Chains A and B, each alone.
Chain A
Amino acid sequence: MEYVSPEGLRLDGRRPMEMRQIRGEIGVVDKADGSAVFEMGNTKVIAAVYGPREVPNRSQQMNDRALVRCEYTMANFSTGDRMRKPKGDRRSTEISLVIRQTMEACIMTHLMPRTQIDIFVQVLQADGGKSRCLIAAVGTRSACINAATLALSDAGIPMRDLVTSCSAGYLNSTPLLDLNYVEDSAGGADVTLGIMPKLDKVTLLQMDAKLPLDIFENVMQLAIEGCKAVATYIRQVLLENTKQLEYRRGTHGQSPAYSAFKVLFSAARRFIAVLMKFDGGYIMETVFDEGSRLKIKHIQSSIPNQRAVFRF
């Protein structure tokens, strides 16, 4: 089969060195400490990070560094044909392991001894056309790693660098960047690479099928370029997110001005919550407890008439 046309176009219309469309978004799971969704073409992955937190299983606690755990799950509806799912099967265990090892390499675990960091990766959609595809899972691992990186940065976990991942292959004597499902299942070589772009270090490298050494160098160089492009994009997403946060906290430009105060609630005279009107929207919150003032803990969103949520 011809995967690259004489005009130099691939089956989905891309050039050999072109990536599928990528999109990342931060903060999609409100309850998690950090979360992100990452899309590469038709592949769509959600990652959520919980931690650093106390290690629930004491026997796993490590006194010199944090415990990093990862679980990869595919939704029933993520593939073309509905999966009758075997939960915790070998393939997902293997991918969990790959993601964990890749992320562990970049997290500064020594800064958080006796804690645990959980990374949960959920595949919502796997590129894979209409067939019952097991290979689809293979194509998702790059997206999973990129989503995990975004989620870890959203959670504010100290990292050496952003790990990014991308795959490259070799079909019809042409090195191809970011294989889609059809190209992936063609049986050619497939190199999945994860790098730390600033440190220029490889944290993940997988390849199946055989490839002459000089060609392998080319393909790997292509994958490195892909990873770097993803890294640039991820940096943009993070920067945009930071700007948004800055804006929401009112530290963008000028300091906040409280324009109105309103005592909202007093249950059995134990707590008083004060609602503050602020730059047009309402935000929270100050709490008093029988004379002694408690700290302002956090700022709620700008929904009118929102009452305080307290964390003592």
Chain B
Amino acid sequence: MSAVVTSGLPSQQPLPERRPRAIRLERWLVVSASLLAAAAFFWPFFASYAPREAQGLVPIAAIALIPLLAIAVSLTLDRSLRVSRAVALLGVLAAVGSIVRISTVGIAGVETIFIVLILVGRALGARFGFLLGLLTVAVSSVVMGSLGPWTPFQMFAAAWIGAGAGLLPLRRLRGWRELALLASYGLVAAYIFGALMNLWFWPFAVGADTTLSYVAGAAPAENIARFGLYTLLTSTLTWDTVRALTTVVGIAAVGGFVLRALRRVRL
């Protein structure tokens, strides 16, 4: 039994073996669930292709489908959470993200959640960024008591942004260049997030019978034009711009030390 134990592993416990096939399957499942979720966001543009008698059901189907997808994708990724360090880190970072999010709620459109999501996604990878996006929205909604039909939509949009940060190229980039890359991604992501959130909510928010309304059965171009004006008016020029600026300033201010601290952590 006498032996020198010089540990290089984070834990003595042998990590559960994950075969490449299992990982490929997981990736495939997450991508398909994401595509289905995207369909639930983008339905207003394609609903005209549905049979006429089913068109009234499309919005209801979208709202019912997305929570189920959120659960399915969580269970799929759960297989990668067999190591206690990953679970603890994920939970704690979701709490950090929630604090950051909640502490700035109500300050004219300032939305800081992306700062955390983008930095973590970059440092710890796409899968972790995806999970953190799902969980941060879930935790902050539970804590704020603001669960609603919007919650699963926000979860997916946040998850995509976290995963996107993990998929960014130029892995070796460090220092201010890396922060510049992340800040530009944050700028784009902030606008995309705003547009996505508007997209699913637009038909419900405006209701029927206005000239800005989603028209079931109309040509996609017509609905896209209506949505374009809706999103420009409601958020792109105002909230989304403030959100994009906060994200850029936030990443520039804290990005350096947050990335350094996260990279010291091994999963």
The answer to whether A and B belong to the same complex is: no
Residues of B within 8 A of A (CB): none
